[in-house]
Chains A and B, each alone.
Chain A
Amino acid sequence: MQKIESPEESRKALNKIVSDLTRSILLKDELTRFWFFILIMFAGVGLWGWTLQTRNGLGVTGMSDYVSWGLYIANFVFFVAVSLVGLLISSVLQLLKISWAKPVSRAAEHIAIAAVALAGIIIVMDMGRPDRLINVFLHGRFASPILWDLTVVSTYLAISVLLFYIPLIPDLALMAERMGPELPQWKRKLYKVLALGWHGNDKQFKTAYHALRVLMILIIPVGLSIHTVTSWLFAATLRPGWDSTIFGPYFVVGAFVAGCSALIILMYVYRLRYGLKDYYTDMHFDRMGKLLVLVSLVYLYFNINEFFVPVYKMKLAEGVHLKTLFSGGYAFMFWFAQIVGLLLPILLIQLKFFRKPLPLSLISVVILLSAWFKRFLIVIPTMEHPFLPIQNVPDSFHHYKPTSTEIMIMLFSFFAALLIISILAKLFPVIAIWEVAEEQGIDKKYLSEKSKSQ
């Protein structure tokens, strides 16, 4: 890219970037209001479902003594999986100095924060006695994977918030300075406070870069742990279908697939809604597509290992489990996830056409849906087939069927996650203004100038 040299050009270019990237914040139309109304309504209905559940007990769900983990835990695993895209995009790719990933990283953090926050909330919703959550701190046993999970989920959330916030600081100062009277007063005040007295001098930038680098390195072990430990919730048991040694990496790679597809969808929505064609270009989708193929191929490799090896042996209990997946009641979900959600995308996305924004986003929707199916298939079928026969219990104990309350609470988690993403997108620019300016060769000194046009 041509370096912009002259001050006038720099200022002009910066003005354009600022006006482009703050459009999302100033946008006020019916659609925005409608969207927030829908989100809040559904999230509210779900919360009401949870109050019903806390009052009447988990008996309002379709879970039983055999399938004692259901939609909530499947959703928990799904959210943890999706959140891992934050680690991949805003840490690994940045550390590798892959420059196209820069404008994408804030959107990745949106997903990471929303997903991991909801993962934490949904696990509380699954508890029989959420009122005793404090016991985990009073009587916590470090031998239990749940304690490890709690530790890493909260650490990951904290680091993700910092990874979102620190690169935001220069933007906050810049917006408080430069944006015109169309910016509501409370937002300007909020930006000023959150900017923590940022002036944009070299020393401050140096500190910020340093902090970011530390966080980017820190988040790698934490991020890998969060999903590995989540997989251990299952792999630490003796049950067929869970008793597997590759669950850790298998979950991590599956998470990258789910997270990349979620990010592509979000990029497409931002691009369309906020007119960001010049920032999320076709090139970005092309690269994301290639990344998606890469992680999907690794995921395919793990899937082959996870299913082919036990199928070859057909141990008794394992065999029963695999039969339900391959040809039993879960065959549709299973093959959909494997073929439509994994194999076909790998083949299609290798064609240039399918890496264009719209086709890639549509494929990503299918992948994300399959990713959810996959989490359901990891949690539920195993529990329907314990070692000993299920006898002397009501028929409903044999098969898991989620109830409406459960689905309500599940919808809450989805809409609450979308709500967090939407609020972040409405409150702050979805792409780092100063990073784009830096990328275009605009000197940092112009960032802290007051806009001349106003």
Chain B
Amino acid sequence: MEKKTRRNFMKTLGASVGAAGVLGGGSLLSSCNRVEEVAGDKITLLTSSGELVVVDRSQLKPAELPSLTENQKRGRKGLPGRSWVMVIDLSKCRNARECMKACQSHHQLRPEQHHINVLQMQDSEDTAPYFMPKPCLHCDNPPCTKVCPVNATFKREDGIVLIDNERCIGCRFCVAACPYSARVFNWNEPRNAEKYEGVTYNIEANVPQKKGTITKCLFSADRLREGQLPSCVSACPNGVYWFGDKNEDAVTNGTTKETVSFSKLVKDGAAYTLMKELGTRPRVYYLPPKGQVASPIEGDHS
């Protein structure tokens, strides 16, 4: 449907430099703007992050940009052999909200739309309040995918629950079914809709967002494909998030980049999952908020 020539792609890219990071092929070459040609074999390019790099001309290849159907196909399959998990260390969260900001800019979300939401919790009157970042929990028994009438939301092999907003009919049954309020709807025109016009839909980032369809946290599946940590994990300044592959039994801290054993981390830390009695079997584990005391939220909108 939206097969693009390289030239067109470059044009779109130029119009939405801010969005460049989210576009399909995030490799160096695919996200470069050519600024100057030098005689010989070298060429100077401007990367999406604003750096000038010199590359050998022979290395230039057309950007690998999967078509919409290919993109959706591989997006539905997931990354083979992976089993993504997240561990959120509540004792570290200081409500910096960098995760929310990074997420909203990555996924083209309006200020009131949260793929990840830092909630102020208090379990009982006697216990201390604490901050709890809440992404989609990517349940292994997901109530949301069960009720979808068109298979627009589905569970991938690597554990991620994804959305195909090219197919979603906007019935919002999944919103009703999710006990964690993880799903948000595009009630209006999405943020910066005009900037994203004509951009090929990337199912793994759910960008561009579409009016009248659902969106939610996807563990930044597009970044995972490129070997990067999810946006929220990388953005956290306090070392709250650990993310990794359960099959490898390894999780990496987004702040310190330290990699540890997943099983050891959750066992030693007495990790728990949210509302486990519902039987949803989340893939997001929480380490208890020991020592963390939430001060009243600054600029709280609630």
Contacts and interface: CB of A to CB of B under 8 A. Distances in A.
B213 A144 contact: no
Nearest to A382: B176
B176 A133 contact: no
B143 A237 contact: yes
Contacts of A68: 172, 175-176, 185
A141 interface: yes
A394 B213 contact: no
Interface in B275-292: 275, 278, 280
Given A66-B181, A136-B149, A141-B148, A129 B176 contact: no
B120 interface: yes
Interface string A44-60: 00000000000011110
A390 B117 CA distance: 10
Interface string B167-201: 11111110111011101111111000000000000
Contact of B301 (A135, A387, A393): A393
Nearest to A64: B187
Given A144-B149, A146-B173, A397-B112, A65 B184 contact: yes
A127 B170 contact: yes
A57 B280 CA distance: 32
B172 A389 contact: no
Given A65-B185, A387-B275, A390-B181, A128 B149 contact: no
A143 B146 contact: yes
B55 interface: no
Contacts of A441: none
A135 B152 CA distance: 10
Given A146-B149, A236-B177, A135 B169 contact: yes
B116 to A, nearest CB: 10
B119 interface: yes
Interface in A107-139: 126-130, 132-133, 135-136, 138-139
B171 A146 contact: yes
A126 B189 CA distance: 17
Range for the number of chain B residues in contact with chain A = 35 or more
Nearest to B154: A141
A58 B170 contact: yes
B289 to A, nearest CB: 15
B121 interface: yes
Range for the number of chain A residues in contact with chain B = 35 or more
A140 interface: yes
A392 B117 contact: yes
Contacts of A397: 112
Contact of A65 (B100, B151, B183): B183
Nearest to A145: B147
Contacts of A388: 119, 134, 180-181
Contacts of A139: 150-152, 167
Nearest to A144: B149
B222 to A, nearest CB: 23
For the residues of A in contact with B, the DSSP-based class is loop
Contacts of B150: 132, 135-136, 138-141
A173 interface: no
Given A128-B185, A236-B177, A238-B177, A392 B118 contact: yes
B175 A147 contact: no
B278 A238 contact: yes
B21 interface: no
A326 interface: no
Contacts of B170: 58, 127-129, 132
Contacts of B187: 57-59, 61, 63-65
A317 to B, nearest CB: 9
A348 interface: no
Contacts of A239: 176, 179
B236 to A, nearest CB: 17
A391 interface: yes
Contacts of A63: 187
A386 B119 CA distance: 13
B36 interface: no
A233 interface: yes
A383 interface: yes
A386 B185 contact: no
Contacts of B114: 392-393
A69 interface: yes
B258 interface: no
A394 B180 contact: no
Contacts of A147: 149
B302 interface: yes
Interface in A383-421: 383, 386-394, 397
A314 to B, nearest CB: 15
7 contacts: A127-B212, A128-B169, A141-B150, A239-B176, A387-B179, A392-B114, A393-B112
Given A126-B172, A127-B169, A144-B173, 6 more contacts: A128-B169, A146-B173, A236-B146, A238-B177, A389-B121, A391-B120
9 nearest A-B pairs in the assembled complex, by CB-CB distance = A128-B170, A128-B212, A59-B188, A59-B187, A146-B149, A391-B302, A144-B149, A68-B175, A129-B170
Interface of A: 56-59, 61, 63-66, 68-69, 126-130, 132-133, 135-136, 138-141, 143-147, 150, 233-234, 236-239, 383, 386-394, 397
